[in-house]
Amino acid sequence: MVDTTILLEPTKRRERIRVVNDAIPGIILLTTGLGAIVAQGLTREPMPYIDVIVGALVVRYAVTELKGHHPSRRVSWFDILGGIVIIIDAINQYKPWKHFQPAHLLFLVGVLTIARAILAEKIPKLRRAVIGHEKLFVRTTPLRALSLEWSDIVRIAWSDTTLEFVTGRRSTRLSLRRVENRLEVIHAILDAGREHGIDVVEAT
């Protein structure tokens, strides 16, 4: 049996939520820049105008994705630029004599924005099902994974959204509700289970 890897595709609703989250740094920049312009009036300071321009680019990029025009999910340079500008804003607003302040939150948002942009292509590839000769491995989130030896599985109970693996000692439930191609994943796992002589039943 050749190892089979299937990427777990996010549902359309989950993808829309991700795109909306991608727009948040742009909204922060637009709000910061416009707020400074309203408070100070037209000024020679470049940062408010940079905030507005970069914020508009980031939001426009997110709106383009939301409409179904999917740019490459490799490194997102608009998001990196947005993250850098947010960090510069945080440095400009930082007051050493204060403890907790908005600059701390801005700095964190900037760092997270850059990290997400760099990992934009890698993170989706982490969510996958690897159906191997000796074991099954499924990672549904970057921090949650299931790994089972086929020889340990006694029975697999399945529904359209869930798999339950029964071993000699316990049962392990795998929810694929948030996976768009879940039926492809479920049937591939069930076929592999049957090949290993595992009892496959439909959940009641």
> 78-108, pLDDT tens digit by residue?
888 899 999 999 998 888 877 888 889 999 9
Per-residue pLDDT band for 2 (boundaries 50, 70, 90) equals: low
The pLDDT > 90 percentage for the chain reads 54
What does the pLDDT average to over 102-124?
87
173: closest CA among 151, 188, 155, 197?
A: 155
H or E element that contains 188: helix 182-195
This prediction's pTM: 0.73
Give the residues across from 4 on adjacent strands: 131
- The rounded mean pLDDT for the chain is 88
pLDDT (0 to 100) of residue 70: 57
Select from 159, 52, 15, 204 the least CA-distant residue to 189: 159
Q: Which of 53 and 125 is assigned the larger pLDDT?
A: 53
Is 161's pLDDT higher than 80? yes
Beta sheet of 135-141, edge-to-edge order: 4-7, 128-131, 135-141, 144-149
More confident residue, 197 or 168: 197
Higher pLDDT, 126 or 67: 126
pLDDT of the residue at 71: 53
Would you say residue 76 has pLDDT above 60?
Answer: yes
Percent pLDDT > 70 in the chain is 95
Asked if the model's pLDDT at residue 43 lies above 90, the reply is no
